[in-house]
Structure 1
């Protein structure tokens, strides 16, 4: 069992290292499987709708899943509607910070959907089916330029390689190659735009980093260790509390005193992180512990607190759900 846990922990560490890249590779494989096994163009007036559904709906599903799997989403929303200081509570000053975190979550959740769309365009199967059913006279005329007149009227049947007396297989192949070339050009343009944007955002965020490269690496290591220890301590603490309650129930005796963090304390360590140049806090738990005599008061806002620079946004992305919380 211990060996299995070691392998599992190693797999989790590798998953954190590869991150969204692994999900992107899985998306490539999923797209190929869908295009070969599941997708069958109807070769009718349904072409455009059918092709666009396969091109965009899986991307939408991946986008929603990206929100569901993001730690930021649940750190932002949990208790938000009932806390007076939540994103939609009386303290409206929290709204810009919440909107910024929502924007970062959206960007993170968009990686896999854009990967799906890019790979699907490079493959060209979905786009080919969709555009042969595109109800636009201008587009149909442009695709069928220099080809028999029947090309425009029979364009939707081309993905199934249905031919007539004047539309030979080479003519159909030429039209499909032209449409597929459009898809691949769009795919490479989309990939180039995403890569350029990612490079610019990364460079700007690192240039605005308030700490050095070495400290940034240390910060990430600290958060991993804090998450691991929090999970271990939470399991141990929960087990002790459960044993105490079960023993009290079955032995019909008063429970022994047992201290556990209050609701307010749990709330304080679950807040969105705010960077303070005057303090060197690596997480909300670190900030709470260092607050000393101020622990019983809110650590939500301290003089000098500002939204963390984008280079430090990985703090709120730590998956606290895996920590047993």
Structure 2
């Protein structure tokens, strides 16, 4: 039991790295399947187009899929764009802040496509097919028409490379060299971006860790309370329809459209504010308004109030 708990704690602490590793492993497995079972180089004038398509198009598809399943991407879009209105920068969130939110979204979406390209280059097949049909490589290596024809057929018959002289013909070495260079560039880029984000962060490491824990707990509580409130509201409305009863509107009050828009923005931490999310900021502001102006009917919805109470207990405010 202790071993199982230790493994579970390890997975929770390193869930981001494990998630990226899982995506990379799945992408590698899919690439190997495509390379061995699906990919068949035509060994003619279509080599470049065919090989490039298998090298690049799946990467583009994985990138778009990564954006599609990224919830932060849709949170960002729905927070800055409303139906029927042009997307503009609001006072609460500048265009620079939006760009800062967009960078990690794109970074997560690039994990799978970069893995695909790197593994594809290391496995050689796609690059060899594309390079053997390239007119630039053919003109650089070949001096006669026979060489052109032999070069395009090398992916189907590797022994033909012996009939062509030249050190630049090693497509396998070129592909693997480019693949390793790409991997090194990705690792260096990730390290530099991580160091830069930590050095320029307005919060300390432990406070950043607290913010992450708070964000996870807030999301979990929000989903639980939202499901509970939606279930109760649906039950009242359904009962009203079938039994022709009048529901009590105050008991099942829901946030207004203005309230939803206020918490839908992605929050950028400000060292002058002791907030950890837009929901936290909304609840604090709402509570302050209700305290100073008790005559107004601006009560905190239960969905938001419970999150604020949890944040208050954890942060000590």
TM-score (ref. length: structure 2): 0.78
For residue 142 of structure 1, report the CA deviation from its aligned partner: 4.6
For residue 214 of structure 1, report the CA deviation from its aligned partner: 2.0
Counterpart of 2:119 in structure 1 is 119
Mapped contact 2:31–2:120 kept (Cα < 8 A): yes
Cα deviation 1:59-112 (Å, max 9, x = unaligned) = 000111121122232122226443799742676973332233334322332221
Counterparts of 1:76 and 1:209, CA distance in 2: 20
Unaligned runs of 5+ in 1: 1-8, 297-325
Counterparts of 1:151 and 1:142, CA distance in 2: 11
- Aligned to 1:198, which of 169, 177, 190? 190
- Change over 3 Å in CA distance of 1:232–1:86 after alignment to 2: farther
- Aligned to 1:237, which of 204, 207, 229? 229
More displaced stretch, 104-113 vs 15-24: 15-24
**1:270 and 2:268 correspond:** no
For residue 186 of structure 1, report the CA deviation from its aligned partner: 0.4
- Change over 3 Å in CA distance of 1:144–1:179 after alignment to 2: farther
Question: SS at 2:52's partner residue?
Answer: helix
- Change over 3 Å in CA distance of 1:117–1:275 after alignment to 2: same
Counterpart of 2:278 in structure 1 is 284
Counterpart of 1:78 in structure 2 is 78
Counterparts of 2:260 and 2:93, CA distance in 1: 22
Counterpart of 2:59 in structure 1 is 59
- Change over 3 Å in CA distance of 1:91–1:203 after alignment to 2: closer
Counterpart of 1:153 in structure 2 is 149
Counterparts of 1:231 and 1:254, CA distance in 2: 28
For residue 210 of structure 1, report the CA deviation from its aligned partner: 2.4
Counterparts of 2:36 and 2:168, CA distance in 1: 17
More displaced stretch, 87-96 vs 50-59: 87-96
For residue 20 of structure 1, report the CA deviation from its aligned partner: 2.2
Unaligned runs of 5+ in 2: 1-7, 292-317
Counterpart of 2:288 in structure 1 is 293
Cα deviation 1:180-202 (Å, max 9, x = unaligned) = 11000001111111111110111
Counterpart of 1:4 in structure 2 is none
- Change over 3 Å in CA distance of 1:149–1:246 after alignment to 2: closer
Mapped contact 2:49–2:130 kept (Cα < 8 A): yes
Matched length: 279
- Aligned to 1:140, which of 135, 138, 141? 138
- Change over 3 Å in CA distance of 1:288–1:17 after alignment to 2: farther
Cα deviation 1:221-254 (Å, max 9, x = unaligned) = 1111111111111111111011111111111111
For residue 276 of structure 1, report the CA deviation from its aligned partner: 1.9
Q: Looking at secondary structure, tell me which structure has more helix per residue.
A: 2
Counterparts of 1:264 and 1:252, CA distance in 2: 30
- Change over 3 Å in CA distance of 1:236–1:175 after alignment to 2: farther
Mapped contact 2:262–2:282 kept (Cα < 8 A): yes
Counterparts of 1:295 and 1:64, CA distance in 2: 44
Counterparts of 1:174 and 1:181, CA distance in 2: 13
